[in-house]
Amino acid sequence: MGFWDKKRVWIIGASSGIGEGLVNILAENGARQLISARNNSKLAELKTNFPKAEIVVLPVDVELLSELTTKVEEAWQFFGGLDYVFLNAGMSVRDLVTESKLEVERKIMDINFWGPVAITKALLKKRNAETALHLVLTSSLSGKYGVPKLAAYSASKHAMQGYFDSLRAETFATGLFIHVVIPGFIKTNITVTGLRGDGSRSGKMQNALAEGMESSDCAKGILKGLEKGKEEFAVGGAERFTLGLNRFSPG
């Protein structure tokens, strides 16, 4: 029996990119999956690709913070608990601080930070201390250092990092496991569907991502890291070495 066989997994942000890559591999490895995002038809299509796998579609919009406790209740019921929850939904905004509206920056914080926090709070209430629960957060290199034109996105990932590092320290040895994944440049549509500072859709793929790692390879790297029980790990190309470089030379 493989590591993921029969594991009860909830992937939030499953409809494209890295999340879709995770769904594909987990379906081939016997996991029982709950898949969530806003695009219901894309999730349904994903499910039909794997008629033999156990996949349940649960549409979720993580920006609707007041609905997330009910979504967690629903999610918990499907398989009578959860083993791994991937808090992977994310949105980018790319613009200068002077060009970015506060309401757009708050939207990014809601999706990338407050959504995962609200889901986690509800999960902690459902959790049975006897059984392990693994939370997998998708952070970013910009969760470790600031990047021009990514102030709000970078802030949301820094906030995620600080919050979940603190929660890990609070819950040490309680059966709650927090894993933070730091993807490098991954070839997904995150910058295409992402926003400009005025809230309009960017529609443009950033060059670094177009030349980045395939999302299926990133998903493979994430699952490998989790199988090894890593708490925090980077997945991507040479850009991941900027983490070490930044520590010695922040400029």
Ligand X SMILES: NC(=O)c1ccc[n+]([C@@H]2O[C@H](COP(=O)([O-])OP(=O)(O)OC[C@H]3O[C@@H](n4cnc5c(N)ncnc54)[C@H](OP(=O)(O)O)[C@@H]3O)[C@@H](O)[C@H]2O)c1
Q: Which of 16, 24, 100, 154 binds ligand X (CB under 6 A)?
A: 16
The one among 15, 33, 120, 154 contacting ligand X by CB under 6 A: 15
Q: Among 23, 62, 118, 151, indicate the residue that binds ligand X (CB under 6 A).
A: 62
Which residue stretch of 31-39, 98-106, 144-152, 237-245 sits at the interface with ligand X (rule: CB under 6 A)? 31-39
The DSSP secondary structure of the chain, one letter per residue, reads --TTTT-EEEEES-SSHHHHHHHHHHHHTT-EEEEE-S-HHHHHHHHHT-TTSEEEE----TT-GGGHHHHHHHHHHHTTS-SEEEE-----B-S-GGG--HHHHHHHHIIIIIHHHHHHHHHHHH--TTS-EEEEEE--GGGTS--TT-HHHHHHHHHHHHHHHHHHHHTTTTTEEEEEEEE-SEESSTTTS-B-TTS-B-----HHHHTSEEHHHHHHHHHHHHHTT-SEEEESSGGGGHHHHHHH---
Which of 82, 133, 186, 222 is in the footprint of ligand X by CB under 6 A?
Answer: 186
Window 93-152: residues binding ligand X (CB under 6 A): 111, 138, 140
The interface with ligand X within residues 38-57 (CB under 6 A) comprises 38-39, 42
Q: Is residue 185 part of the contact set for ligand X (CB under 6 A)? A: yes
Q: How far is the CB of 201 from ligand X (least distance, A)?
A: 12
Show the binding pattern over residues 203-242: x = contacts ligand X (CB under 6 A), - = does not.
Answer: ------x--x--x---------------------------
- Asked about 145 being catalytic, the answer comes back as no
Active site (catalytic) residues: 153
Task: Give residues in contact with ligand X (CB under 6 A).
Answer: 13-19, 37-39, 42, 60-63, 88-91, 111, 138, 140, 183, 185-186, 188-190, 193, 209, 212, 215
